């Protein structure tokens, strides 16, 4: 008995013990939630869906719809009532959630994925409870909301930092860092929007989804490892890897989508363009594609045949591509009638900064010799195009209306 306890604490478990330490909590949880789902469906058929008012105020989610959310908050009512009657302050529940969440990161960093996963899930459940307890008791206040929000960031970061530490010598470190970035940006964009009077709550990967996919994937991953790779001392935990990659991708997609919504809501409405935005993008993309082909062909020729470095070849290619791009956009895309000289000066400014951004990006990526410079070139070009070239060509270089307003604001000679 004593040896079994020591083995459980140290993590030196047999394959069967590894399976049961991960599976036993899962079997209990699955049994509880399956029975609850049956009862919930019966209840819905008789009385309709018991709608949770707080759930309706939150953003919609593709991965976890409103039906499942209403079901979840209905099925955990017994636990919620126990916590409510216990008299524990809501802030105490928040602190307990934070402690369990930080502990989950410590556990996964040490390779105890079953323990870490279940601690993370339990922390997520308590995080749902604390705010509801405070509102039910009419104890909700800004201080408690701030405490809960900050502790949530610590819990998410601790779990992802623990995974990053465990996978520090493998390629999984990159999605772990990506998930850390996305999980931080999703609530930040929402908070920034609320501070500016814009609600941005939607997205596929909100906190409930992050807790669910990370927690379940991590908690159950030792089962697969014990079944298929029982002799590995440092197993990959592929189920956790799948959940981590999924969260990394969708959390950043959600953050970018919220960011675009926020910027669009805050951007002043512009006068109607002679072309639709879709047409402008299509013509501009075509002009950029033609110029890019010319640019890329020139870079290949200068690197492969003339022996120039990729950095200087990129600068020269940007100049040549810029001439082609300007000509097509002025005549076809924007059908601009603005004065050529100031327009060309604006285009030169944008092109020069674009060349510096592209050259700098390629220079940075060539610091990684395992990355082909051609692939790095395409990645940098795409990022600079969407973040810099396209919006500035539309709103600054070829915007005749804006240039006319600028001329009117300048003092005229007496």
Residue 121 is predicted with a pLDDT of 92
Please tell me the least confidently modeled range out of 58-67, 219-228, 240-249, 351-360.
58-67
Q: Is the pTM of this model over 0.75?
A: no
Q: Which two tokens stand for residue 333?
A: 């895309």
Of 262, 241, 259, 253, nearest to 198 (Cα)?
262
User: Candidates 2.40.30.10, 1.20.120.1760, 3.40.720.10, 3.40.50.1220; correct CATH number of 1-48+87-266?
Assistant: 1.20.120.1760
What confidence tens digit (pLDDT) does each residue in 12-33 have? Answer: 555 666 666 666 666 777 677 7
**How far apart (Å, rounded) are the C-alpha atoms in residues 32 and 201?**
30
Confidence class for position 413, pLDDT limits 50, 70, 90: very low
SS3 254: helix
| Domain map (residue ranges) of the chain | 1-48+87-266, 341-403
**How far apart (Å, rounded) are the C-alpha atoms in residues 122 and 105?**
13
Of 77, 83, 126, 72, nearest to 104 (Cα)?
126
Q: How far is CA 286 from CA 5, 121, 329, in A?
A: 67, 48, 9
Instruction: Say which residue, 399 or 246, is predicted with more confidence.
Output: 246
């Amino acid at each position: 008995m004593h040896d079994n306890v020591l083995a459980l604490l140290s993590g030196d478990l047999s394959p069967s013990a590894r399976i049961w330490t991960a599976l036993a909590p899962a079997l209990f949880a699955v049994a509880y939630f399956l029975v609850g789902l049956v009862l919930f469906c019966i209840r819905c058929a008789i009385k309709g869906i018991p709608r949770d008012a707080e759930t309706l105020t939150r953003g919609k989610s593709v991965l976890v719809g409103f039906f499942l959310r209403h079901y979840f908050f209905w099925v955990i009512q017994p636990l919620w009532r126990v916590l409510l009657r216990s008299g524990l302050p809501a802030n105490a529940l928040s602190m307990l959630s934070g402690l369990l969440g930080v502990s989950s990161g410590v556990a996964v960093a040490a390779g105890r994925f079953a323990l870490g996963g279940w601690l993370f899930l339990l922390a997520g459940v308590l995080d749902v409870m604390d705010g509801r307890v405070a509102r039910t008791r009419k104890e909700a206040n800004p201080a408690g909301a701030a405490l809960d929000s900050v502790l949530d960031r610590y819990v998410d970061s601790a779990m992802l930092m623990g995974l990053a530490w465990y996978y520090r010598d493998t390629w999984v470190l990159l999605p772990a860092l990506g998930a850390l970035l996305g999980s931080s940006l999703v609530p930040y964009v929402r908070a920034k929007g609320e501070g500016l009077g814009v609600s941005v709550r939607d997205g596929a990967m909100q906190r409930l989804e992050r807790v669910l996919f990370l927690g379940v994937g991590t908690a159950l991953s030792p089962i697969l490892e014990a079944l298929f790779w029982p002799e590995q001392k440092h197993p990959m935990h592929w189920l956790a890897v799948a959940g981590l990659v999924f969260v990394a991708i969708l959390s950043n997609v959600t953050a970018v989508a919220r960011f675009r919504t926020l910027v669009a809501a805050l951007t002043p409405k512009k006068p109607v363009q002679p072309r639709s935005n879709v047409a402008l993008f299509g013509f501009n993309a075509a002009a950029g594609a033609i110029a890019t082909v010319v640019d890329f062909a020139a870079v290949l020729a200068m690197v492969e045949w003339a022996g120039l470095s990729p950095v200087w070849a990129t600068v020269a290619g940007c100049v040549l591509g810029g001439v082609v791009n300007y000509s097509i956009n002025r005549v076809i895309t924007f059908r601009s009638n603005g004065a050529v000289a100031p327009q060309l000066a604006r285009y030169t400014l944008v092109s020069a900064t674009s060349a510096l951004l592209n050259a700098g990006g390629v220079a940075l990526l060539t610091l990684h010799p395992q990355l082909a410079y051609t692939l790095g070139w395409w990645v940098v070009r795409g990022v600079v195009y969407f973040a810099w070239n396209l919006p500035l060509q539309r709103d600054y270089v070829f915007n005749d209306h804006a240039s006319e307003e600028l001329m009117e604001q300048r003092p005229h000679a007496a």
